[in-house]
Structure 1
Amino acid sequence: MTENNQTQLGNTLWKIADELRGAMNADQFRDYMLSFLFLRYLSDNYEAAAKKELGKDYPILKDNDKRTPLAVWYEQNKADVAEFEKQMRRKVHYVIEPSHLWNSIAELAKTQSKELLHTLQDGFKYIENESFESTFQGLFSEINLDSDKLGKNYEERNKKLCNVIQTIAEGIKAFDKGQSVDYLGDAYEFLIGKFAAGSGQK
C-alpha cells in the first residue's frame, strides 16, 4: 500500500469515527474504534496463519457463502479442533473462535443481527481470558459494550454497533484487496495520532 493510500485509509476511518460517535466525545469513541480495528487485525493474521496450517484442507467457499472458511472447517472436523487450536496457540500464540472473527462479526452487522452485541461480548471475553494464557488479558477492558452512550437498552446498543461495524467494514474493504495485514497496523497508528491530537472534537 502506498503512503498516499495509507493516508486515505486513515482519513476514511477518522471520518467514520467522527460521524458515528454521536453523543460520545472523541476520547470515548476512540476505544471502540481502535478495538474493532484491532479485532480486524487479529482476525486477518489468524486466518492467514490458519490457511497456512491447514493447507489444502482449508475450505474454499463460493462467493455467496457468507460463512468463514474456518467456521466450515470446524463444523466438518470437530474431532480435530482441539489439536488445531493447540497448534495455533503454539505457532500464532492465540486462538479466535470462528464466530468471533471479524468477518463473522461484520456479517452479523450487515444483516442487523440481534445477536451481534452478545457475540461481541463473548468474543472479547474469550480473546482476553481463554485465547492464550495472559497474552491478551485486559485487551478490551477500555470498551464498555453496555454503555448508555451506545443506547438506552440492548436493542438500541445492538443497532448502534451494527451500524458502526458495518460502516468500518465497508470503509476498510475499499482498501484491503491484495494488501498484507500490516496496512491495518498503519491505519491503527494513524488513528491513534489523530485521537491524541484531539482533532474533530465537537
Structure 2
Amino acid sequence: MNDQDQKQLGKTLWNIADQLRGAMNADDFRDYMLSFLFLRYLSDNYETAAKKELGKDYPEWQELPAPGAKQDGSRMLPPLLAWYANNPDDITAFEKQMRRKVHYVIQPPHLWNSIANLARTQSGELLNTLQAGFKYIENESFESTFNGLFSEINLGSDKLGRKYEDRNTTLCRIIAEIAKGLAEFSSSIDALGDAYEYLIGQFAAGSGKKAGEFYTPQQISDILSAIVTLDSQEPA
C-alpha cells in the first residue's frame, strides 16, 4: 500500500466515524471502530489461509435459496459458511489443521464477511452473532492469547440504543459503512497499522488529547506480535 492509499484509507475510515458516531463521544466510538477493524484483519488472514488449505474445495459465494436473493452478494452465503454446511464430517480435522497452520480458529458466522453480510441485509441477528463471535474469539480461538481482546467495547451499551432492536440497527449501519469503505483497500497487517495510526491521531485530536494517550492497546500489540511470530514458523 503506497502513501497515497494509506492516507486515503485513513481519511475514509475517519469520515465514516465522524458521520456515524452521532452523540457518542470520540473515545467510545474509537473502541468500536478499532475493534471492527481488527476483526476484519483476523478474518481476512484466516480466510486466506483457509482458501490455501482447502484449495479447489474452497467454494465461491453461494446464492441463498430464499425469495429475492440477489447476485450482488447481499443475500449470499459466504464461502466458509457454505463449506461448513456441506462438509460437517470434515470440520474437526479442518479446524485442527487451521490451528496448526494459522494458529487460531474463527467460526464462519463470526468472520468479518459474514458479519458485514448481516449488516448489509439489516439482519436482526447481527448483535447476537457479534456477541457470540467476540466471546468465541476471546475464549476459544487462540488458547488464552485473545482473552480480553474485545473487552473495551460494550455491545449492550445504551449509547448504541436503549433496546436490542435499536442497538442492532445502529451496529448494522456502522458495520455496513465500514465494510463498504474498506472494500477497496488491502487487509494486510501494514494497512491495519496505518489505519490504526491515523485513527488514533484523529480520535485524539477530536477529544482534545494528545495522540500519545491513544497508543494501540497492549493486548492488541501482543496479539499482533504473536501472530506475526507464529506465521514466520513452519508448522510442527
Once the two structures are TM-superposed, the CA of residue 62 in structure 1 deviates from its matched residue by 5.8
Q: In the TM superposition, what are the counterparts of 1:154-165 in structure 2 within 5 Å? A: 154-165=164-175
| Aligned counterpart, 1:25 | 25
SS, match of residue 17 in structure 2: helix
Deviation at 1:180, TM superposition (A): 5.3
How many pairs are equivalent?
197
What is aligned with 1:78? Answer: 88
Q: CA deviation at 1:190?
A: 2.0
Is 1:107 matched up with 2:117?
A: yes
Choose the corresponding residue for 1:187, options 188, 195, 198.
Answer: 195
Task: Identify the residue that residue 118 of structure 1 maps to in structure 2.
Answer: 128
Find the aligned partners of 1:62 and 1:114 in 2 and give their Cα distance: 21
Which residue number corresponds to residue 180 of structure 2?
170
Q: CA deviation at 1:57?
A: 1.3
> Which amino acid in the other structure matches residue 177 of structure 2?
T
The structure showing larger relative contact order (alpha-carbon pairs under 8 Å, at least 6 residues apart) is 1
Query: In 2, Cα distance between the equivalents of 1:54 and 1:145?
Result: 34
Shift of 1:147: 0.3
1:37 aligns with 37
What is the DSSP-based 3-state SS (H/G/I as helix, E as strand, rest coil) of the residue aligned with 1:130? Answer: helix
State the alpha-carbon separation in 1 of the partners of residues 201 and 83 from structure 2.
39
TM-superposed deviation, 1:2: 1.6
Alignment of 1:138-153 (within 5 A): 138-153=148-163
Q: Is the 8 A contact 1:88 1:95 kept in 2?
A: yes
Structure having the higher Rg: 2
Letter in structure 2 aligned against 1:57: D
- Superposition deviation, residue 200 in structure 1: 6.8
Tell me the TM-score normalized by structure 1: 0.92
Question: Which of these residues, 131, 135, 138, is aligned with residue 128 of structure 1?
Answer: 138
Question: Where does the alignment leave 5 or more consecutive residues of structure 2 unmatched?
Answer: 64-70, 209-236
Does the 8 A contact of 1:26 with 1:198 survive in 2? no
Q: Distance in 1 between matches of 2:197 and 2:53?
A: 29
**1-structure distance, mates of 2:118, 2:58:** 23
Instruction: In structure 2, give the amino acid aligned to 1:118.
Output: N
Name the % identity.
69
Spell out, residue by residue over 1:112-152, the C-alpha distance to the aligned partner (whole angstroms, 9 max, x if none). Answer: 11000000000000000011210110000000000000001
Q: Which residue number corresponds to residue 67 of structure 2?
A: none
Aligned-partner residue type, residue 198 of structure 2: F
Aligned partners of 1:132, 1:169: CA distance in 2, in Å? 25
